[in-house]
Amino acid sequence: MIGESVPMLDSVARVMGTVDYMINLRLPKMLFGKIVRSQAPHAKSLKVDVTNAMRIPGVVAILTGEDLGANAFYGVAIKDQGVVAVDRVRYVGEPIAAIAAESLDAAEQAAVLIDIEYHELPAVFDAQDAIQAGAPNLHEKFPNNIFKHAKLRHGDMDAAFAEADEIFEDTFTSPVAQQASLEPHVSAAQWDGEHLTIWTASQAPFMVRKSLSEIFGIAPEAVRVIVPSLGGGYGGKGHIRIEPLVAAMARKTNGRPVKFVLSRAEEFVTVTKHAASITLKTGVKRDGTFTARQATLYWNGGAYADASPMLVPAGMVRAVGPYRIPAVHVDSYGVYTNLPPAGAYRGAMSSQTTWAYESQMDIIARKMGWDPFEFRMKNLFVSGEHFATGEELHDVHFVECLEVSAKGLGVPSPLTPLPKGEGQGMRVGRGYGVMMKSTVATSKSQARLKLKDDGTVTLYTSTVEMGQGGHTTMAQITAETLGVPLRAIKIIGPDTAITPFDSTTSASRSTSMMGNAVIAACGTMKKKLFELGSPLLETPVDGLRTENGFVVADEISISFGDILKRNDLNTVEESGEYSTSFGIDPETGQGVATPHWHQGAGAAEVEVDTETGRITILKYSAAAFAGRVVNPRMAQLQNDGNVIFGLGPTLMEEIVYDGGQPINPNLADYSIPSIRDIPAELISICIESGEGEMHGIGEMTLPPVAPAIANAIEDAVGVRIKDLPITAEKILRALREKSQR
């Protein structure tokens, strides 16, 4: 079963349009919610008058800051965000009030009648502006607007830089972008006394549960979080999003459920990708080895810390790169600004950092006369070496990833010269990118199996199915490990009332973490079946195995169902757990950053139209290290998807603001890749290893896309773009500047 390309379990529902997305949820007596948002980027003395709005027929209740208790502030580590704004607003789009009404029409009519007064304050939108003396301050507890400073200290920098023959210093930037799942954020909540049920399109049901229990002062068990299939997540539905507001609204509706569906424009002010400015100072010797790297990272966290206190240190670790560098210092700053809160965006933080270190690799190689491919091969980590955190690297396959992706371009060798472009002013170039990404250092997954006397197996898991095929993967792992046919397996979850704990479906951790929890549960289930079956088969436990729903001895076998029946059992339930507990020292960044490293590479061949700056990606070849692949075709599909998704932030995606107001919050002015934007040739390969550790593959081939393309552009036309996205206009400007030099 593992290693077989079975279709997704609910494939038929997926092509028939009958998947139970949140947007389809209808509950008895359900009300419709609408959020009223700030038009100002920064203001104080907020006053909200709902008198006129309450008069609209059909309006049941209106939520404002006055309804909130002292605990109504939340955040993954810093509880700075109000369920709705209280006294102060800090970004355009911040919820100020919410309405629950019998119809969406009524809610929308009431929304425009809510009177809002505030006193506008100066605002700041750029992270580096926000840390200057005298910049507007967002939260008094953090007078310089820096809410997180993560540090990595490894080696003697002065000595290491002194050893370098050349020192390179470059700054690379990424703008604010949006995850833009086609399904928006949708949640519905209902209270029954002090019990809350919330249905939500979330990647992290247990984080939602914890957060809501804290906000409302109730036990975690009093909060039930139910998550159906998601219409895409990409990090945008990670952590906590609209759930606190939806639950607080429902608290005012006398037990009636209320459902909120965000509009596309609202999506753009709900969660974003961190804008980043990354400066790398790198020392290199003439022999092509590194001596030192100083990385300084400014992450624009937006108006609230949200998940950034976790993501900013992750970004720090992800900023070093997959190369042997004896001395490394990193300073990673999370900064408040008057923009919407930023969160994870597929390839979280690695997209920004890989953009920086892989772009600089080519800058260095070209300046020092190395072929960029060879320069990488010379310096890539191999297993047994030590990373800047001090940890020993195991199961490391960067060299293989780069070689395989280079080979995918279909040229005899990476050093084979390219033909010039076809047509006037067309130039062709080739470029590479490699990435090294940590997953969550400390996290836990639990799985529970229920075997029934009819031989069916139900897997209770809180892994969220968001298109990655997580449920199918878990079913395959169950089938293989327990020895049952796939069709006997049913998956339930996530529903925090009945499915066991899981930290989150993100960071490409599920196949590895939940997969191992499922394996553990299968192990205990097998043990139980052997114990129950041994007397029936008159064979000692160690002479038994499972196969196709049977416990098998040498010449005799019995079905799982019959084992239960013969023991007068209707069901047997067994659980499994898998957890990792690593971490790094907050002052030095030394320790173990991740249970294993995500590894990926990409190779691009692009054509640049030197008259317009427009590029065409002729070929793209990607490779990810997957350890052991559970479902090859789905893994490849996800790998392809990474590359295609990655073309967005590389070439087109940027939220443009005017005074904190997004001017392109729609899919006409904020473009995402279409079928006509994908490379003419795209291949992606999963690399497996004999060691058999399953890795996630949800992001690995994404972060290399941007630098591989930028490097190919420099190869083609000799200009270096350091600011994403790489638009035709930027390339043309750079070409003009170059020709004027």
- Contact between 652 and other proteins per CB under 8 A: yes
- Contact between 603 and other proteins per CB under 8 A: no
- Contact between 611 and other proteins per CB under 8 A: yes
3-class SS string, 406-431 = HHCCCCCCCCCCCCCCCCCCEEEEEE
Q: How far is the CB of 725 from other proteins (least distance, A)?
A: 8
Nearest to 514 by CA among 595, 457, 447, 458: 447
Query: With CB under 8 A, what is the number of residues at the site for other proteins?
Result: 69
Nearest to 575 by CA among 506, 642, 619, 525: 525
Cα 93 from chain centroid? 23
- Pair of tokens at residue 116: 């809002």
Q: What are phi and psi of 90, to 5 degrees?
A: -130, 0
Amino acid letter at 42?
H
Alpha-carbon span 138 to 341, nearest angstrom:
13
The end-to-end CA distance of the chain, in Å, is: 61
- Pair of tokens at residue 173: 């930037």
**Which residue, 71 or 263, has its beta carbon nearer to other proteins?**
263
Part in contact with other proteins (CB under 8 A); list of ranges 333-341, 495-503, 512-520, 675-683? 675-683
- Contact between 23 and other proteins per CB under 8 A: yes
**Which residue, 103 or 571, has its beta carbon nearer to other proteins?**
103
Active-site residue 699, yes or no?
A: yes
Q: How far is the CB of 56 from other proteins (least distance, A)?
A: 10
- Contact between 182 and other proteins per CB under 8 A: yes
Q: Which of 243, 480, 699, 714 is catalytic?
A: 699
- Contact between 18 and other proteins per CB under 8 A: yes
Q: How far is the CB of 109 from other proteins (least distance, A)?
A: 7
- Pair of tokens at residue 418: 């390219």
- Contact between 39 and other proteins per CB under 8 A: no
DSSP string, 577-639: EEEEE-EE-TTT--EE--SSEEEEEEEEEEEEETTT--EEEEEEEEEEEEES-S-HHHHHHHH
Part in contact with other proteins (CB under 8 A); list of ranges 88-96, 214-222, 498-506, 727-735? 727-735
**Which residue, 7 or 217, has its beta carbon nearer to other proteins?**
7
Q: How far is the CB of 502 from other proteins (least distance, A)?
A: 19
Q: Pick from 31, 249, 269, 644 the residue near other proteins by CB under 8 A.
A: 644
Alpha-carbon span 88 to 622, nearest angstrom:
47
Write the DSSP symbol of residue 323: B
Chain positions 205 to 244 lying near other proteins, rule: CB under 8 A, are 229-234
- Contact between 57 and other proteins per CB under 8 A: no
Q: Which residues contact 14 (CB under 8 A, 6 or more apart)?
A: 8
- Contact indicator for 466, 237 with CB cutoff of 8 Å: yes
- Contact between 429 and other proteins per CB under 8 A: no
Vertex 389 angle, CA 307 and 381, to 5°: 110
Q: How far is the CB of 21 from other proteins (least distance, A)?
A: 7
- Contact between 656 and other proteins per CB under 8 A: yes
Q: How far is the CB of 232 from other proteins (least distance, A)?
A: 4
- Contact between 174 and other proteins per CB under 8 A: no
| Strand ranges (E), 121-185 | 146-154, 166-174
Amino acid letter at 28?
P
**Which residue, 17 or 417, has its beta carbon nearer to other proteins?**
17
- Contact between 535 and other proteins per CB under 8 A: no
SS3 186: strand
Alpha-carbon span 154 to 292, nearest angstrom:
10
Helical (H) or strand (E) element with 3: none
- Contact between 14 and other proteins per CB under 8 A: yes
**Which residue, 58 or 591, has its beta carbon nearer to other proteins?**
58
- Contact between 541 and other proteins per CB under 8 A: no
Q: How far is the CB of 263 from other proteins (least distance, A)?
A: 7
- Contact between 5 and other proteins per CB under 8 A: yes
Positions marked active-site:
699
Query: Would you tell me which residues interact with other proteins (CB under 8 A)?
Result: 5, 7-8, 11-12, 14-19, 21, 23-24, 108-109, 180-183, 229-234, 263-264, 466-469, 611-612, 614, 633-634, 637-638, 640-645, 651-652, 656, 663-664, 666-678, 682, 727-729, 732-733
